[in-house]
Structure 1
Amino acid sequence: MKWEAKIITHKKEKRIAVYFEKDIDLIARIKKLDGSRWSQSLVAWHLPDTEENRVRFKIPLVSYSLPSTEGIEQIEKFKQFLRSKRYSESTITTYSEALKSFLVFYRDKAVADINNEDVIIYNNEHILKNNLSASYQNQVTNAIKLFFQTIRETKMMVDKIHRPKNAKTLPNVLSKEETFRLIDLTTNLKHKTLLALIYSSGLRISEAINMKITDIDRQRMLIHVKNAKGKKDRYTLLSTKVLELLKEYYAIYKPKTFLFEGQYGEQYSSRSAQSVLQQSAKKAGITKQISLHTLRHSFATHLLENGTDLRYIQDLLGHSSPKTTMIYTHVSSTSLKNIINPFDM
């Protein structure tokens, strides 16, 4: 997906304009960003010119200084430390950019002299003042904590650095009828198989497109999910109906390496998969905002509504903590249906 972002002045205000050919998935993602608007005159979406948005759309932070020489050296050492701990490159980039923001703020202060009070000042004078999100603040906090654990001489007490309070939002979930209608109305066999597999096995999109033919265990009716989030392996369910779909799909498409491949044998892209979902949702008359992750949420919720123990759902999803899986108890309709509304008594 080709897109271009640049700084503009719109109605006497600095904004970031994003130009791209019409793409349903990208439009849905931009709509979720704070302060995003469509401009007919610009023929583009535009957002507030914040540090977070500059990082998101790969715009140089020209209005922000670089860290001190010491800060730059420390960031490089921090990257080496993360690589030695086998963090993914995307996580290394996220953490090092977040740390950079903090060290830019304190570029006139020696790293050894930075203390816990400085973190509070940074949050108030930079994060809150520039309307940066709680999730971005959380990224910076994680980076700061991890960074100062690697520093020998420091005034920072890492265990007393507190994370921001996150908003407790509930995931969007499809009903069983909506899910099956969405999959049934997907006419392309590859697309139908992909959506059915993600839903029936509770997969993340990255897990689905990284999956290889050898990961399907037909004898045990399980799927081996390898090197998933947190570099963890797990097994999840293989549906008998999806196995039949997979057989038909394999006979026609004959993938060579990855289970789902693009037109020229390359790994299938998450952007293409998201586009497929949006098209199928439109056919199915689903108007709520959904993503491929909605299918994973729906899988977990439907299992819970069918009486599956939360511990098994946690294992199938690959959650480290049961607290993460507990969120589905708040979106399950089964327990709510058993409550008699006082208005109906």
Structure 2
Amino acid sequence: MVADNVLLFRNDESEGDIVYQNIIRFLDKKGRKSERTRVSYEKHIGDFFKVMRNKDIEDLKIRDIQITLEDFEDFMQRMMDSKMIANKTINNITGTMRGLLQDLNLRTYNGKKLIEDVSYLYVKDSIPKLNETTNSYGSLTVSEVKQIAELVIKEEKFEATSKRLFILFCLDTCARKTAALNIEWSNFIVYDDHVEVRYTDKGGKEFKPKIKKEFYEELLQLKCESVEKVFNFSSTAADDMFKRALSKLDIDEGRNIVFHSIRKAGAKYLYSITGDILYVQKVLGHSSPKTTMVYIEVEEYGVIGAVSSTMNLDLDILNKISHEELLKVIKSCNSDMKLLLALQAKKILEK
């Protein structure tokens, strides 16, 4: 019944109850067309208040929701400085917050508006949208990620093995850092030839990446009785560990490398193996293949076609060059191409 979703305010309800119930009212309204939209909006609102007020939405008071233009500016600056989320996500969060504040401005409690002033929201460009054409962070190669993992095992004083395996797990599964930190042993489904990792990430999306049994057996050395989580350290500890290891490598600061660059490396590797953008889109949980193409830096234009790229090329050239020349060709390849060649060589040798 429609009446089941109606929120009735009692006279003895606290202002905290009123704030939370009105946020739920806003979310319910947004969720009428799509439950996924409701989930996204709830996460956006929760993220904003966690950063700006260090509170969950259930604990907010009326004074906490008096959001100013300066609050928006500070939030956007913090997120850009942290390089933890893309500009598009920052724009989505601020857009959701604008809608929420405009809605709460229409609500009253004890004869007063829940939010006193939102006039700045109606001023053009008062909260400018950030450029979404590029990611705010760069990418690593697979070999660079593995180098970082090996540096961690050498340099970290605490939980070095766990942190090394965490990096490799994020690379192997393309899981986001927060999702990987929430992985529990019950998420692993063991089959004869592989292990499936089943988990739910943001937006309620389900993921089922596969890992080799040998890697799963490595992970098992972290298992402790009465501890369900696989990786038992904080997101901040993961970032700090990554920064320490990164500082040991000769990587240009202009590349904007952050922990999330590991996921990007895994995604680019999958694309180089499969050449299937739709498969990589599914692995990453993107809603559009265009998002995935930007993410892994695949251009839609400027590629030389099959005819143009093979003009004046002797397709039998590999059969004509010497063993030494072939080795020179292989050595001149980038690290990810060498990895692909090594995988192909392994297949041939195992036949």
With structure 1 as the length reference, what TM-score do the two structures score?
0.53
Aligned with 2:230 (options 259, 267, 279)? 259
Aligned with 1:92 (options 31, 46, 65)? 46
Counterpart residue type for residue 195 of structure 2: M
**What is residue 98 of structure 2 aligned with on the other side?**
144
Deviation at 1:237, TM superposition (A): 2.7
Q: Deviations over 1:295-344 (max 9, x none)?
A: 01111111112234111111111223323212135268xx979998xxxx
Q: Deviations over 1:71-121 (max 9, x none)?
A: x9996554232565566577336279799999767xxxxxxxxxxxxxxxx
Which ranges of structure 2 fall in alignment gaps of 5 or more residues?
Answer: 1-15, 29-37, 54-61, 81-86, 108-123, 154-159, 310-351
Give the conservation status (yes or no) of the 8 Å contact 1:95–1:139: no
Residue-pair matches, total: 235
After TM superposition, the structure 1 stretch with the greater mean CA deviation from structure 2, 238-247 or 183-192, is 238-247
Give the conservation status (yes or no) of the 8 Å contact 2:183–2:199: yes
Distance 1:93 1:185 in 2: 32
Change (3 A) 1:74 1:144: farther
1:173 and 2:136 equivalent? no
Distance 2:286 2:26 in 1: 22
Task: Note the 1:201-240 alignment, pairs <5 A.
Answer: 201-219=173-191, 220-226=194-200, 228-240=201-213
Counterpart residue type for residue 206 of structure 1: T
Give the conservation status (yes or no) of the 8 Å contact 1:174–1:294: yes
Deviation at 1:241, TM superposition (A): 4.6
**What is residue 333 of structure 2 aligned with on the other side?**
none
Give the conservation status (yes or no) of the 8 Å contact 1:216–1:223: yes
Computing the radius of gyration over CA atoms, which structure comes out larger, 1 or 2?
2
Change (3 A) 1:176 1:132: closer
Aligned with 2:163 (options 176, 182, 191)? 191
Change (3 A) 1:74 1:257: closer
Distance 1:224 1:249 in 2: 19
3-state SS, counterpart of residue 217 of structure 1 = strand
**What is residue 246 of structure 2 aligned with on the other side?**
281
Distance 1:277 1:100 in 2: 37
Distance 1:95 1:218 in 2: 39
Greater strand fraction, Structure 1 or Structure 2: 1
Change (3 A) 1:214 1:73: closer
Distance 1:165 1:88 in 2: 20
Change (3 A) 1:176 1:79: same
Q: Deviations over 1:197-242 (max 9, x none)?
A: 011100111111111001112215221122x111222212324452
Give the conservation status (yes or no) of the 8 Å contact 1:198–1:295: yes
Give the alignment's Cα RMSD to 1 decimal. 4.5
3-state SS, counterpart of residue 306 of structure 1 = helix
Distance 1:269 1:131 in 2: 22
Runs of 4+ in 1 over 4 A off after TM superposition: 72-77, 82-90, 95-105, 125-128, 130-138, 146-153, 161-165, 335-340
